[in-house]
Chains A and B, each alone.
Chain A
Amino acid sequence: MPVVRLRAPLSELAGGNRELELEGSTVAEVLAALEQRHPDVKGWILDERGQIREHINVFVNKEYGREDTAVRESDRLHILPAISGG
């Protein structure tokens, strides 16, 4: 299964897990599975439209991913805050 890697505060919302195996064949499906397993994450990565928040980066391995990016069994998803802000 794909592996999702999280940092604080997301890892805290996900029960203290910094790494989770989750099912899904796209980024959106994997993130939906994350929200289902850990409802406290809901609204933090995906907004209410189901889109990745503007200043959150989701990498599939080393490439930027979007909601519809395909995810394979062996892939690693990294959820990281973007290099932005003041």
Chain B
Amino acid sequence: MTELLVGTKKGLFVLEGDAGGPFEVTSRAFAGEPVEFATRDPRSGRTLAAVTSAFYGPKIFYADDPTGEWEQSSGVELPEGAEKPLERLWTIVPAEDDDHLYAGGAPGVLFESHDGGASWELNQAFWEQPTRPEWSPGAGGMCMHSIATWPGDPSRVALAISAVGVWLTADGGKTWEHGNKNLYPRYMPEEAREDTLTLCVHNMHRAPKRPERLFMQFHGGVYRSDDAGESWISIADGLPSDFGFPMVIDPEDPDSAYVIPLVADLDRTTPEGKVRVYETRDAGATWTARGDGLPQDDAYLTILRQAFCGEGSGPSMGLYFGATSGDVFGSGDAGRTWFTAATKLPPVHSVRAA
């Protein structure tokens, strides 16, 4: 039995089922509210949800049972004197040390919890980056959406922000450096590409079995890094488009990655009206389309950056993604065949399996 936490424009839906058939909606929380992201911390079993009410602002809530009572976390706010309030929360990620979690949000902020998500504090070193006044947001705000920890080493973390590129720490977040070499922002004038900080990363993941390797979906570009995020290599050849939002990796296979290409920045829908996931098993040298069971006729879907996830690894790895159409699709065989897990949900913001 797989549990899916599906964050939508109108609440959090918990779905349960087995790969191959439709999933059942077992509960809905935060009815009417945009749930940007929800995940279950595998260490504690606790579910955490990032909820951004249009009226009451962004909050993190947590529950030991997502079908039960939720409590609001404390400390999820910017310091006094901030020019703008906290806008949105995009991701929550378990860290490498016990009870430690990270949360990323807009405007380009990192929060940390040391009590399993009940209370949070801002990472001051990142908040006080001297270049912050020069930072630019992407269309969804200045969102910190990807936080890649280093297995077994809590001191090393990579962050990615739209549109402020990749940031690396090797001292547990006390200092931060750029990791942007060879990213190619073709949405910028040629003269500005080399020095710009306006680097619109859409999603980034680390390969746990080879942690110096990261994969990235960029705003026009798919990349791999083999030096812990300091520099990047284009691996987009063979894809129908290098634009897209989410990305998934097989945690046991450092040569694997999955993307869902969209046409382009001006047409953020699945190419040719066909929904296809593309898989590489050779670190991006080649890509294989995986669409068996997915809509292939007049299907113009948009899949957002947090709306694609994996479960397990290897040939029986689960893959799940949701679209802004409200459809959720799944695979129980690492993408070779797909099934429809749910339809007619509100627009899907995030999908995580537990």
Q: Which chain A residue shows the least CB distance to B33?
A: A9
Q: How large is the interface on B (under 10, 10 to 19, 20 to 34, 35 or more residues)?
A: 10 to 19
Give the complex CA separation of A53 and B84 in angstroms.
11
Q: How large is the interface on A (under 10, 10 to 19, 20 to 34, 35 or more residues)?
A: 10 to 19
Q: Which chain B residue shows the least CB distance to A48?
A: B77
In the assembled complex, how far is the CB of residue A6 from the closest CB belonging to chain B, in whole angstroms? 12
Contacts A48-B82, A49-B85 given; indicate if A43 touches B54 (C-beta within 8 A): no
Give the complex CA separation of A56 and B56 in angstroms.
7
Q: Chain A contact residues: over half helix, strand or loop, or mixed?
A: loop
Q: In this assembly, does B59 line the interface, its C-beta being within 8 Å of a C-beta of chain A?
A: yes
A63-86 vs B, Cβ < 8 Å mask (1 yes, 0 no): 000000000000000000110111
A17-41 vs B, Cβ < 8 Å mask (1 yes, 0 no): 0000000000000000000000010
Contacts A48-B85, A49-B80 given; indicate if A40 touches B72 (C-beta within 8 A): yes
Q: Are A49 and B82 in contact (CB under 8 A)?
A: yes
Q: Which of A40, A44, A49, A55 contacts B54 (CB 8 A)?
A: A55
Q: Which chain A residue shows the least CB distance to B56?
A: A44
Q: Which of A48, A51, A53, A86 contacts B56 (CB 8 A)?
A: A53
Q: Which chain A residue shows the least CB distance to B54?
A: A85
Q: Which chain B residue shows the least CB distance to A51?
A: B85
Give the complex CA separation of A48 and B76 in angstroms.
10
Q: Which of B54, B59, B72, B86 contacts A48 (CB 8 A)?
A: B86
Q: Which of A40, A49, A51, A81 contacts B55 (CB 8 A)?
A: A81
Q: Are A53 and B55 in contact (CB under 8 A)?
A: yes
Q: In this assembly, does B118 line the interface, its C-beta being within 8 Å of a C-beta of chain A?
A: no
Query: Which residues in B have their C-beta under 8 angstroms from that of A53?
Result: 55-57, 85
Q: Which of B55, B57, B81 contacts A43 (CB 8 A)?
A: B57
Give the complex CA separation of A64 and B243 in angstroms.
45
Q: Which of B55, B72, B77, B86 contacts A56 (CB 8 A)?
A: B55
Q: Which chain B residue shows the least CB distance to A50?
A: B80
Q: Which of B9, B81, B85 contacts A47 (CB 8 A)?
A: B85
Q: Which chain B residue shows the least CB distance to A41?
A: B56
Give the complex CA separation of A47 and B85 in angstroms.
6
Give the complex CA separation of A81 and B78 in angstroms.
22
Q: Are A55 and B55 in contact (CB under 8 A)?
A: yes
In chain B, positions 70-115 with a C-beta closer than 8 Å to chain A are: 72, 76-82, 85-86
Query: Which residues in B have their C-beta under 8 angstroms from that of A82?
Result: 55
Give the complex CA separation of A48 and B85 in angstroms.
6
Query: Which residues in A have their C-beta under 8 angstroms from that of B54?
Result: 55, 81, 84-85
Give the complex CA separation of A32 and B55 in angstroms.
18
Give the complex CA separation of A43 and B77 in angstroms.
8
Query: Which residues in A have their C-beta under 8 angstroms from that of B78?
Result: 48
In the assembled complex, how far is the CB of residue B54 from the closest CB belonging to chain A, in whole angstroms? 5
Q: Which chain A residue shows the least CB distance to B83?
A: A49
Query: Which residues in B have their C-beta under 8 angstroms from that of A55?
Result: 54-55
Q: Which chain A residue shows the least CB distance to B85?
A: A47
In the assembled complex, how far is the CB of residue A37 from the closest CB belonging to chain B, in whole angstroms? 17
Query: Which residues in B have their C-beta under 8 angstroms from that of A40?
Result: 72
Q: Are B57 and A44 in contact (CB under 8 A)?
A: yes
Give the complex CA separation of A82 and B53 in angstroms.
12
In the assembled complex, how far is the CB of residue B135 from the closest CB belonging to chain A, in whole angstroms? 19
Give the complex CA separation of A6 and B76 in angstroms.
23
Q: A47-B85, A49-B82, A56-B56 are in contact. List 7 more A-B contacts (CB 8 A).
A: A43-B59, A43-B76, A47-B77, A48-B79, A53-B55, A53-B57, A81-B54
Which B residues are closer than 8 A to A by beta carbons? 9, 54-57, 59, 72, 76-82, 85-86
